[in-house]
Amino acid sequence: MVERSRRPLARVGAWLVICAAAWLVVGSAGIIRAQEPAAAPIEAGERPRIPVPLPLVRRNDRDAAVASPGLPPNGRRPLPGSRFDPGASGPGIGSTSSELFLGGALDPRSGWPFVFLHYFSPKPEQVERFWIVQTRNCPQVMGSDPLPCLKLLHFDDRGDVVQRDPSEMLAQTVGRPVFIQVQGSLTTPDIALGGLLWSRAWLLENRALPPDAVVIAFDWPSQRVYQNDVRDINEKGRRAYIAGFHLARFLQQFPPESRITVLGQSYGGRVVPSALYLLGGGCLDSQSHDTPVRLPGLRPDLHIRAICIEGASDHHWLDPDQRLERALYGCEALLNLYNRKDEALLLNPFLRRGGHHRALGRIGLKPSDLDRLGPLAAKYEEHDTHEQLGVAHTLLDTVANRQCARWMAPYLCAPDPGPIAARPSDGPIESQRRDSLGQRLFGR
């Protein structure tokens, strides 16, 4: 008799849980809507916008054999997908944020997705100067001209990403600062888009980026190519040099006297100095027994500043008579944010396409390197981010950190961002700093 009386109560309890979950999913859109400014009156002939519930988080439908770098392993927090991964980065892939979910990806200050999306359509004022440049269809051969096959993408009025003429973007850059972001390995097109959105929003939040800046994601083919980690990461090293040539050719198309900041993280930190080396008059190959190439001409009128974050390039390559010796000739200034405890760059000396030295993104320039640079060292600045980021190898935590953003502000043509106010999310979490490499990779 007692068991029979408990069954209806159990059924009622189950239905209450289901109803509560449904309210959280469907009602969340209404809660967010209530926090927005009052909507403008609907124009005549315009269809009213129907609220759409927030999407449920589900596993990616792509081939399960190749793990998406944007998915957390075994339900844990998102982390880079391989022990040889030099820095997959995208929305939610971080390890030092104090946010409870996806590294703060749902924080409204980041613009992802609530500030950027208006029921899954971009707000026009957010994407007016937001562009994606793709070289994924370009031949992965050193010296190949990217201009005929380069795709320039932009959001239309409906929020769809459509291909546009490059002249539209170039006309928009006249008189405005330009910010170009180059991400690292294991980056898919959606991650390149979301990563730039994250960087732009947090740099604006930290007053390190001018509000009128034109922001561009330089999306090169850095997705996984081979199942074998070592083979794949060496192929990315080859492609990074080719992407550097393509980036240099793209920069040459900008109007005279353009103010451009190029930021590269991880293998993007190899793409950027490679492009600067070519812009400085260098001749480069891809370390694959191919013929070295140079640009058809130079553009000394461009005002280019560069930022390398955890760069996967050898620390001595900027020295005279080394691989990228003319990189500092191709820019006005270069900022290197390295992390002396970066775990992902620990294996850099063992990569085949490298000089078998420690990475610039792990140790910066040694005193002997600075001595060899001579007067060119005045163009170089570096900071160790270990105190701010712990052992993290991620673009997201770097741009969201106020101290790191303050270091970057002068290179982004931003005014003085002012004093740094304390924020709980700044600085590493002590438990994360004590984790070993095995714990972070395998969750043990």
- Specify burial of residue 131 (Cβ count, 10 A radius: 0-12, 13-18, 19+): buried
**pLDDT at 433 (0 to 100):** 42
Cα separation of the two ends of the chain: 48
Most confident range, picked from 25-39, 201-215, 348-362? 201-215
Of 198 and 417, the structure prediction assigns the larger pLDDT to 198
**pLDDT at 103 (0 to 100):** 43
Sheet containing strand 151-155, edge to edge, reads 161-163, 151-155, 130-134, 214-219, 177-182, 259-265, 303-309, 333-338, 380-384
Structure confidence by residue, pLDDT tens digits, 270-315: 999 999 999 999 999 998 888 999 999 999 999 999 999 999 999 9
**pLDDT at 344 (0 to 100):** 86
Q: Spell 157-190 as b/e; 16+ CB within 10 A means b.
A: eeeeeeebeeeebbeebeeebbbbbbbbbbbbbe
Of 173 and 422, the structure prediction assigns the larger pLDDT to 173
Distances (CA, A) of 13 to 5, 21, 238: 13, 13, 58
**pLDDT at 441 (0 to 100):** 37
Query: In percent, how much of the chain has pLDDT > 90?
Result: 49
Distances (CA, A) of 356 to 85, 239, 291, 348, 359: 17, 18, 22, 7, 9
Structure token pair of residue 411: 């290179």
**pLDDT at 142 (0 to 100):** 96
Q: Spell 17-50 as b/e; 16+ CB within 10 A means b.
A: eeeeeeeeeeeeeeebeeeeeeeeeeeeeeeeee
Pick from 284, 345, 275: nearest CA to 309: 345
DSSP string, 52-97: -PPPPP----S-TTS--TTS-GGGS----S-TT-S----TT--SS-
The residue-averaged pLDDT of 130-158 equals 94
Query: How does residue 350 score in pLDDT terms, banded at 50, 70 and 90?
Result: confident
> What's the mean per-residue pLDDT of the chain?
76
Query: How does residue 104 score in pLDDT terms, banded at 50, 70 and 90?
Result: very low
Query: How does residue 16 score in pLDDT terms, banded at 50, 70 and 90?
Result: low
Which residue type does 171 have? Answer: A
- Residue ranges per domain, the chain? 73-414
**pLDDT at 356 (0 to 100):** 76
Query: How does residue 380 score in pLDDT terms, banded at 50, 70 and 90?
Result: very high
Query: How does residue 111 score in pLDDT terms, banded at 50, 70 and 90?
Result: very low
Structure token pair of residue 143: 């010296």
**pLDDT at 115 (0 to 100):** 41
Q: Are 66 and 224 in contact (CB under 8 A)?
A: yes
At 383 the three-state DSSP class reads strand
Structure token pair of residue 271: 């793409």
**Cβ neighbours, 10 Å, residue 416:** 9
Q: Are 404 and 337 in contact (CB under 8 A)?
A: yes
Per-residue H/E/C for 231-280? HHHHHHHHHHHHHHHHHHHHHCCCCCCCEEEEEEECCHHHHHHHHHHHHC
* Alpha helices, DSSP H, located in 313-383: 360-363, 367-373
Query: How does residue 77 score in pLDDT terms, banded at 50, 70 and 90?
Result: very low
Longest dimension (CA), the chain: 91
**pLDDT at 260 (0 to 100):** 98
Q: Are 197 and 190 in contact (CB under 8 A)?
A: no
Pick from 228, 191, 237, 247: nearest CA to 359: 237
Query: In percent, how much of the chain has pLDDT > 70?
Result: 67
**169-178, 304-313, 333-342, 346-355: lowest mean pLDDT where?**
346-355
Structure confidence by residue, pLDDT tens digits, 396-441: 889 999 999 999 999 999 877 777 766 555 555 443 443 433 334 3
Which residue type does 334 have? Answer: L
For residue 84, is it left (φ>0), alpha (ψ between -120 and 50) or beta?
Answer: alpha
- State how far the Cα of 342 lies from the Cα of 430, in Å rounded to an integer: 15
Pick from 88, 255, 273, 61: nearest CA to 188: 88
Most confident range, picked from 113-117, 195-199, 303-307, 435-439? 303-307
Structure confidence by residue, pLDDT tens digits, 203-249: 998 999 999 999 999 999 999 999 888 888 889 999 999 999 999 99
Is the pLDDT at 14 greater than 70, yes or no? no
The residue-averaged pLDDT of 132-155 equals 95
Distances (CA, A) of 194 to 227, 307, 395: 25, 19, 12
Is the pLDDT at 340 greater than 90, yes or no? yes
- State how far the Cα of 342 lies from the Cα of 359, in Å rounded to an integer: 10
Cis peptide before 113 (omega within 30 of 0): yes
β-strand pairing of 130-134 with 151-155: antiparallel
Is the pLDDT at 266 greater than 90, yes or no? yes
Structure confidence by residue, pLDDT tens digits, 31-64: 333 333 333 444 444 443 333 333 333 344 333 3
Pick from 414, 213, 237, 413: nearest CA to 313: 237
Within 8 A by CB and 6+ apart from 258, the residues are: 173, 174, 178, 302, 303
- State how far the Cα of 319 lies from the Cα of 324, in Å rounded to an integer: 8
